[in-house]
Amino acid sequence: MSPSWNERLIVQIGPNAVHAARMRIWPSGVALAEASIAIEGDKDAQPLDSRSAAASESSMGIALRDAINAVSGRGRSITIHLSDVFVTYFVLPWSQSLKGESDWARLAAIHAVRLLDMEATRLQVRVRTARRGAPRLACAVPRTVVEAIRAARPDQGHRIAEVAPHVISAFNAARPILDRHATEHRWILACEDDRVTIGITNAGRWVDIFKAWAAADPQALFAMIEQEALYRGIATPVRALVTPLPWIAAEESFTLPNGFQFQAIGALPSVGTTNEQSLPTARAA
């Protein structure tokens, strides 16, 4: 039997690079090979600005293809975690007038067009399912990003099984905790470099979601959350579920304000120790 049945490919598309790892399923947490490919192009380009971001998205597709080819054998399924820098999120309030998924999809498309001031044909919009009576989380991704992922076409016959935005992965990782504490507000902090996407939930339901640039500065992040909690009338303690923060990884000294409780969640698979020598960092052509 081929050893590929016990392996999977995990790819993280970040703002500036694509990281790929061939992971052993059981025992879990072991990376057999890794590669990191830089995304060339204008680092200041905004993904939703087609005039400046087209070159970066093309380079992202090249980096994705090369990273997968660098770490893999043949015919494996691929899970892709997409950086929140490429995604716009918004929460749709519950409405009894929405009878089915198609109604939710149409409402999300209308909100996305108004929010981003873009034609609907330039966006791919998705709405997450939720319990009856609960708000829904929706997200919009430029079609140029989606097409760049589809066009990557790795050489070894792989299949893209899933593409999950970063904060969705964080929410899925937090779900067991949210289910155990169903009467409390929980903040979900999905951190990437100096960016952070902050989701607010109550009783496991989405309240709001927004982005900030305070992830690299713990005191600025705490102050922003305190202000948001005060503005929204959310009582302390502030209980936050966080993906790895840069100042936590660096073991920097910081003090949580009174009433703050942070709990780490592993939104993305760890790709630390490898059984084989890691492949050198490469760059897209």
Distance, first Cα to last Cα, the chain: 36
Question: In this predicted structure, what is the pLDDT of residue 106?
Answer: 94
Question: In this predicted structure, what is the pLDDT of residue 58?
Answer: 78
Q: What are phi and psi of 207, to 5 degrees?
A: -105, -50
Helix (H) or strand (E) holding 13: strand 7-13
pLDDT digit string (tens) for the chain, length 285 residues: 455 667 788 899 988 889 998 887 776 667 788 999 998 865 555 554 444 455 567 788 889 989 988 887 666 788 899 999 899 999 999 999 998 899 999 999 999 999 998 888 899 999 998 888 899 999 999 998 998 888 886 666 777 888 889 888 888 888 888 776 667 788 998 888 778 899 999 888 899 999 987 656 778 888 888 888 888 888 767 788 887 665 555 545 567 777 788 787 765 544 333 332 222 222 332
Q: Across the strands, what pairs with 12?
A: 19, 81
Query: Burial, 210: exposed, middle or buried (Cβ in 10 Å; 0-12, 13-18, 19+)?
Result: middle
The half-sphere exposure of 142 on its side-chain side, counting CA atoms within 13 A, is 21
Q: Which two tokens stand for residue 71?
A: 């770490």
Question: In this predicted structure, what is the pLDDT of residue 261?
Answer: 81
Report the candidate in 232, 81, 73, 93 with the shortest Cα–Cα distance to residue 160.
81
Helix (H) or strand (E) holding 201: strand 195-202
Question: In this predicted structure, what is the pLDDT of residue 65?
Answer: 87
Question: In this predicted structure, what is the pLDDT of residue 271?
Answer: 37
Helix (H) or strand (E) holding 104: helix 101-116
Q: Across the strands, what pairs with 206?
A: 201
Separation of alpha carbons 154 and 280, rounded Å: 19
